[in-house]
Structure 1
């Protein structure tokens, strides 16, 4: 501040109180400095302003997440003899909650009581929210129960936060029980509470229950919002009920609830994941006709859909189209295109896209490198893949289990199983945990290299360590036994896998049936064929 301005402020102290405090919100990057300057000016005034004026400075600081500065200023106030009121102390509680200092937040509650102030709903709701934010939902519920026992009433916001906290930690049933507990007794449930539970049920794929709750809220004359429909449409999409999802979109329009970009994108993404790109394009056309502009997520979903059905050229058209419409591709867009190209062995095109990212100052992430490394491995350019791993490390991107799985797979397929096993040990030493796909690669590599005994040792070690083996792992091991003509051992493993709760599939049966026919054990083969038919697994003749 210039000397002239400084003098002007001190000659006109009443100007400070006339200043619009909302101006602190206008430039968030300069807010902390502006707030501190204004705070200091208030302290230097001949007649110290009321606490209300100081609270007006603290509030925007908290809204813009400058919690430590707000705490520091409040401490300075007390040091200067300016006593906080209930609003100040509520602001302080909020700051400590967001900083994860819940014990200090509760000590401020004790301070409120000690000073004879009466804590209000904002005080208690802030503490409940703080507990939920800091993964202490159980403690939040206990605190709620303690408040009720003392005859303290909470409001819709308080219960909305509690219900959201329960849903966030996967306790949807507990959230629903809380809704039942409060309705008609404590507070009236609102659309926010219903939306939160509906959304959580849909994410848990309990779409039927979510629909029942939706019907209930409509019967209670609680009007659904675009959030309600977005949750339900997403739920129907992830369980593959796309017809119902489209039906909900139509229902929205009939209820005069305008779909937003997120609504259309959820539906587009759902259709694309099922390979229904043509239908997704129709939704995109409707979206644009309604004046809703597709965003980066919409275009990424369409491109991913095309890549999924191996129509990479159409995905490229969408990639170019979004750029022409003013939507800049992001790292995810390039990852989708690079992965799509690699899946159909257009690795040269993928590498061109990789270079294009650099020219546009987009930083490739672990997914980008992993897709490229996998593509290079698939076309046998393993040395190039290793070079890329080096570049990845040099540029600060850490390889993950997916990256290394591609390299392990390439080594095994090129009969370098010992090198693959050595790499696996190095991966473990880096603190990267192998997944089931990693072990499947190693077991398959050992089996196909004629090292059945080593494969069996790895397989048994996984069982002993309590790994939940899937049908793919069992199929690999059964195939290894069949390669060696050990049909009895293969049948024994089939029986064992089902005892362990792993359901066999068509590949399991076909693998064993082939070796049985090859060994002229036709009766056993016919028996398995009948089992396949009974289970509905026989889709084509076993050759």
Structure 2
């Protein structure tokens, strides 16, 4: 099926393109080969072979495994010496459960017991899940009782699975006390309910469940309600989270600092920054101490929305409230001003943080260097780079990548090469980004042969080219109408199964950019 879809897609492209000459025909033909290669590789990969050891089979994944193959694999594991660990058996059972072969999992688990193979809490959680999925809730709770009898500590997965089982069986409202008891038991065991705990409950309730949730019938503590608000925010259900918050207020359940901070975070994620600011003010008016983390969340929201001046106003407001900005605060604002091209304010903030004793981190330096290089201020970036060299900070490869990229963009390719070649002396190992930047610089200079040599050195150093590397080289060769090297690159991509560059070539074929380049 996958092969047929690929061939059909290729024919869609092929019809309007066959009249555009040798370059297109050559590239299109090899694109077809590559697409077929990828499809065949997917269909005949290692996961499809039955002659692998059980360890290789488990490592490759058993998604889609047939029942007979699963039984044969289990028998191989049983007969293996030394016998596989319980972790290996759990991996197999979990994989089968994901394929919804619940009865088979339960049958194999029985065989494990007969063979005297040990189990742990993870094994029993898998069994509980299978019973719940088969709507056999009585058996699931029996396994829960076994967990307690054996002295295991039920975890969040155990409780959440059982609650989900109640929901799947459609008995949530008739067995509310059991659901509440499970949540209470979770809290007593130190397990924090999360979105996986509450999600099934909420999905099976009416449109506005909050009056019931907050009522005495449920008797859920504030900490649990806060966890529920956190879960809703993480699922992107901010409206429901605010409804629950309002219901808490109505019922006289006081939110705490975590409740407010969670809502502030959710409002910022939806770009409702004014509301987030109002929530922060309300939090302070209620006598809660707002943390620097809460302020940083809102400042980051303003900067992402390119409302950096608003972020600065909140930054000054912090000082009036006795809050001391930290490295994250300054780094966020510096990045915001750099992205707007307002380097003067970014540099002033950097100087301010240094003068009051807030230490810049490598991230702070990287942000400022990136901003300077992007805005063509390479010389000043190099001055800051020298300060990093004299400090005790380890710049890491990220800083060097920024500087080398800045040099290449400023057409200082030789200087970039010199810095690149000095990296081993500095005990810094270039990564795929470093090589790709340097290859791009050489291509920009027109030194395609040197770029090719550097690509080979990259592979000798054990670093595989990625889609960015292939895209950079392919574009350069296409600009020079170098069909032979373009074909070689496509052949290499076939071996590495890199599809993104083929997509780039196909896009260039479709919109006519190859005609313009050639």
Q: How would you bin the TM-score normalised by the shorter chain?
A: 0.5 to 0.7
Normalised TM-score (structure 1): 0.58
> CA 1:123 to 1:186, structure 2 compared with 1: closer, same or farther past 3 Å?
farther
Compute the displacement of 1:270 (Å).
Answer: 0.9
Asked if the contact 1:230/1:266 (under 8 Å) is kept, the reply is yes
1:398 paired residue among 499, 502, 518:
499
Alignment-derived partner of residue 411 in structure 1: 515
Alignment-derived partner of residue 184 in structure 2: 86
Whether 1:292 aligns to 2:390 is: no
Alignment-derived partner of residue 140 in structure 1: 241
Asked if the contact 1:373/1:388 (under 8 Å) is kept, the reply is yes
Alignment-derived partner of residue 39 in structure 2: none
Whether 1:54 aligns to 2:158 is: no
Alignment-derived partner of residue 230 in structure 2: 129
Alignment-derived partner of residue 272 in structure 2: 171
> CA 1:256 to 1:307, structure 2 compared with 1: closer, same or farther past 3 Å?
same
Asked if the contact 1:331/1:362 (under 8 Å) is kept, the reply is yes
1:333 paired residue among 416, 430, 434:
434
Count, aligned residues: 370
2:292 paired residue among 191, 196, 220:
191
Compute the displacement of 1:269 (Å).
Answer: 1.0
Alignment-derived partner of residue 476 in structure 1: none
State the superposition RMSD in angstroms. Answer: 4.2
Cα separation, 1, equivalents of 2:204 and 2:289: 29
Cα separation, 2, equivalents of 1:254 and 1:265: 19
2:483 paired residue among 382, 387, 405:
382
Compute the displacement of 1:339 (Å).
Answer: 1.9
Alignment-derived partner of residue 364 in structure 1: 465
Asked if the contact 2:210/2:244 (under 8 Å) is kept, the reply is no
1:315 paired residue among 412, 416, 438:
416
Asked if the contact 1:164/1:196 (under 8 Å) is kept, the reply is yes
SS in structure 1 at match of 2:286:
coil
Runs (5+) with no aligned partner, structure 1? 4-32, 63-67, 77-82, 415-543
Residues 523-543 of structure 1: CA deviation (Å, up to 9, x unaligned): xxxxxxxxxxxxxxxxxxxxx
RCO comparison, higher one (Cα < 8 Å, 6+): 2
> CA 1:233 to 1:304, structure 2 compared with 1: closer, same or farther past 3 Å?
same
Cα separation, 1, equivalents of 2:428 and 2:158: 37
SS in structure 1 at match of 2:357:
coil
Cα separation, 2, equivalents of 1:383 and 1:69: 60
Asked if the contact 2:211/2:247 (under 8 Å) is kept, the reply is no
Alignment-derived partner of residue 282 in structure 1: 383
Cα separation, 2, equivalents of 1:45 and 1:171: 46
> CA 1:134 to 1:394, structure 2 compared with 1: closer, same or farther past 3 Å?
farther
Q: Which has the larger radius of gyration?
A: 1
Cα separation, 1, equivalents of 2:460 and 2:384: 33
> CA 1:167 to 1:343, structure 2 compared with 1: closer, same or farther past 3 Å?
farther
1:155 paired residue among 233, 248, 256:
256
Compute the displacement of 1:116 (Å).
Answer: 6.7
Alignment-derived partner of residue 463 in structure 1: none
Compute the displacement of 1:373 (Å).
Answer: 0.9
Whether 1:271 aligns to 2:372 is: yes
Compute the displacement of 1:75 (Å).
Answer: 9.6
Compute the displacement of 1:347 (Å).
Answer: 1.8
Alignment-derived partner of residue 203 in structure 1: 304
Cα separation, 2, equivalents of 1:274 and 1:355: 32
Compute the displacement of 1:263 (Å).
Answer: 0.9
> CA 1:97 to 1:43, structure 2 compared with 1: closer, same or farther past 3 Å?
closer
Compute the displacement of 1:244 (Å).
Answer: 2.1
1:214 paired residue among 292, 308, 315:
315
Compute the displacement of 1:259 (Å).
Answer: 1.4
Alignment-derived partner of residue 469 in structure 1: none
> CA 1:326 to 1:379, structure 2 compared with 1: closer, same or farther past 3 Å?
same
Alignment-derived partner of residue 254 in structure 1: 355
Alignment-derived partner of residue 9 in structure 1: none
Asked if the contact 1:392/1:399 (under 8 Å) is kept, the reply is no
Alignment-derived partner of residue 351 in structure 1: 452
Cα separation, 2, equivalents of 1:35 and 1:326: 46
Compute the displacement of 1:173 (Å).
Answer: 3.4
Runs (5+) with no aligned partner, structure 2? 1-81, 84-118, 128-143, 166-180
Asked if the contact 1:96/1:102 (under 8 Å) is kept, the reply is no
> CA 1:351 to 1:45, structure 2 compared with 1: closer, same or farther past 3 Å?
closer
> CA 1:185 to 1:369, structure 2 compared with 1: closer, same or farther past 3 Å?
same
Alignment-derived partner of residue 196 in structure 2: 96
Spell out the pairing of 1:435-446 with structure 2 (5 A cutoff).
Answer: none
> CA 1:391 to 1:44, structure 2 compared with 1: closer, same or farther past 3 Å?
same
Whether 1:306 aligns to 2:407 is: yes
Residues 332-372 of structure 1: CA deviation (Å, up to 9, x unaligned): 22222222222222222222233333334433332221111
Spell out the pairing of 1:386-535 with structure 2 (5 A cutoff).
Answer: 386-399=487-500, 402-404=504-506, 408-414=512-518
Cα separation, 2, equivalents of 1:48 and 1:86: 21
> CA 1:213 to 1:279, structure 2 compared with 1: closer, same or farther past 3 Å?
same
Whether 1:224 aligns to 2:318 is: no
